[in-house]
Amino acid sequence: MIAIYPGSFDPITLGHLDIIERGCKLFDQVIVAVVLNPNKTPLFTVQERLEQIRLATPHLSNLEIDCFEGLTVNYARIRGASVLLRGLRVLSDFELELQMAHTNKTLATEIETVFLATSNEYSFLSSSVVKEVARFGGSIDHLVPQHVALDIYRCYAKTQPGLTQTTDRVSQKNLPSTSRDS
């Protein structure tokens, strides 16, 4: 059974990775699909986000990483997926996700939405929280993979010189050589 885990993943967080890893245990194949949303102004390009996800998930043999534009159910049909995988953190997520699941069901009755409750340690975590903490100079090392933290620190260091100390601190860590070449 193929499951699609759609999202903007701008950036991918440890909460996202938790859902991806757990989904890979439940389904034959999981496709992490970066959604191109024209209503959002992302921090990273689609190609950068795809690469960040690839670098964070080499240990998952039944995972594919892709991107798409348009309706998720149409993409799921094209890929032969019968499940949309979604993570739930808080009650407000449930309300929005349930509305989306019902809408998707009216568009594609053959596709089910499966919700995974986020692990407790990530229940507060979102890409928006990560970006806000980093933008104001806080540490995000415990919220995202190391290579993603470095990418984010570099991004904000370009616009806010005061963050270069944080960037220097992270770049001293033992990171894979591919992430230092970004």
Is 122 within any annotated ligand binding site?
yes
Alpha-carbon distance of 44 to 86, in angstroms, equals: 22
Is 124 within any annotated ligand binding site?
yes
Is 164 within any annotated ligand binding site?
no
| CA-angle at 19, arms to 131 and 112, nearest 5° | 120
Alpha-carbon distance of 107 to 102, in angstroms, equals: 9
Is 119 within any annotated ligand binding site?
no
Alpha-carbon distance of 4 to 81, in angstroms, equals: 7
Is 61 within any annotated ligand binding site?
no
Is 40 within any annotated ligand binding site?
yes
61 catalytic residue (yes or no): no
40 catalytic residue (yes or no): yes
* DSSP string over 39-84: T---SS-HHHHHHHHHHH-TT-TTEEEEEE-S-HHHHHHHHT--EE
Q: Which two tokens stand for residue 133?
A: 């903490």
182 catalytic residue (yes or no): no
Catalytic residue selected from 22, 77, 89, 105: 89
Is 88 within any annotated ligand binding site?
yes
16 catalytic residue (yes or no): yes
Catalytic residue selected from 49, 127, 147, 179: 127
* Binding site members for ATP: 8-9, 16, 87-89, 97, 122-128
* Binding site members for substrate: 8, 40, 72, 86
Active-site residues, by number, are: 16, 40, 89, 127
* Binding site members: 8-9, 16, 40, 72, 86-89, 97, 122-128
